[in-house]
Structure 1
């Protein structure tokens, strides 16, 4: 495998993690992998959303290891579907070039009743970008997420914020968490591939994601 593997995770669900993952994958011309898809939204799976927003060729979109029907934590969605999640099926795929992996929800979301996503990140031994919203509560959620990752020895590229500017919260998280502030992706309306590409280029530096 050539190129860098980057894991995109978040402090919570519904905070813009998939949009950021699409922006990053598009900017790097990377392959994209969502190992476990639990539930399908009206606009499709996360991989389908990323494909539309990133403008990546179809062969850069890797199939999920598991696609589950219920929109809830993977451990419960698997039980509802009578599926046993086998960590062996979550081995890193071999691709030519960069790989962006997107988790589900926050870092301590259970994959099974024994392991969390943070545990799986540690197994992959790849660096993480933590996506955090900028609204009320983000300091607590972000610092707890950083602490959980550090306890497992997971390396971090830094924090990518999503939302309206909140200078104090963003600076506080990065100073207290001792992490790099990668940038902030503003809310985009309408959210189009071109608007996302321009916003990412204006607010992030590609060299921060280089090997």
Structure 2
């Protein structure tokens, strides 16, 4: 099985759109281990609509749109790493919640989940001001935890200077760049092809 964990440098960075795009072009299944916030829909439902792929049920589905440890406490739930088991699929895109240091409980963060699942990470970062610092810090945290970093996916208007700086200072490739679509649909995803470098990196997994 070939699998990749999609995390971000922040919440609302574009992980779900990036995950849907990956699932569409890589013909992969999708799994969101922890969903925080269900009132306005879920990331799983968004990806199912956009990518028209197989979506596996969440291990934890929490009501409030908060950090998982806070949302779980409000729901009277204790998130445990042992409850996370990878679904079976030929190819699987796993989307995290927020950034890599977001707490799952008072002992574990999303990085611990990445270690538990033993998956390489594709880091989603914005393209604009501030991204160099946030991206380099996220890559540093992942490497300190010995989580393999596949590369970076930048979201937003193309920024060659920031791309070059990230590749230089974070010492990791920017494998793809996606725009902020005003209206996102299946056609928009389909019309933005996957770069050869990212496809080769994904196919080299497993």
The structure 2 residue matched to 1:127, chosen from 120, 123, 138, is 120
Contact 2:115 2:147 (C-alpha < 8 Å) held by counterparts: yes
- Show CA shifts across 1:133-166 (max 9, x none): 0121111110110010000100011000000011
4+ long deviations beyond 3 Å: 200-205
The structure 2 residue matched to 1:26, chosen from 16, 24, 30, is 24
- Give the equivalent residue in structure 1 for 2:72: 78
State the 1:203 CA deviation: 8.3
Structure 2 regions of 5+ residues with no counterpart? none
Structure 1 regions of 5+ residues with no counterpart? none
**Is 1:61 paired with 2:55?**
yes
TM value normalised by structure 1: 0.92
- Show CA shifts across 1:76-135 (max 9, x none): 100011111121111222x13101100011010001111110121112211100000012
Helix, strand or coil for the counterpart of 1:67? Answer: strand
The structure 1 residue matched to 2:48, chosen from 40, 44, 51, is 51
Question: Taking structure 1 as reference, are residues 205 and 120 closer, same or farther at Cα in structure 2, changes over 3 Å only?
Answer: closer
The structure 1 residue matched to 2:89, chosen from 81, 96, 100, is 96
Question: Taking structure 1 as reference, are residues 205 and 198 closer, same or farther at Cα in structure 2, changes over 3 Å only?
Answer: farther
Give the aligned CA root-mean-square deviation in angstroms.
1.4
How do residues 103-118 of structure 1 correspond to structure 2 at under 5 angstroms?
103-118=96-111
TM value normalised by structure 2: 0.94
Helix, strand or coil for the counterpart of 1:199? Answer: coil
Helix, strand or coil for the counterpart of 1:102? Answer: strand
Q: Distance in 1 between matches of 2:181 and 2:57?
A: 28
Q: Distance in 2 between matches of 1:26 and 1:70?
A: 29
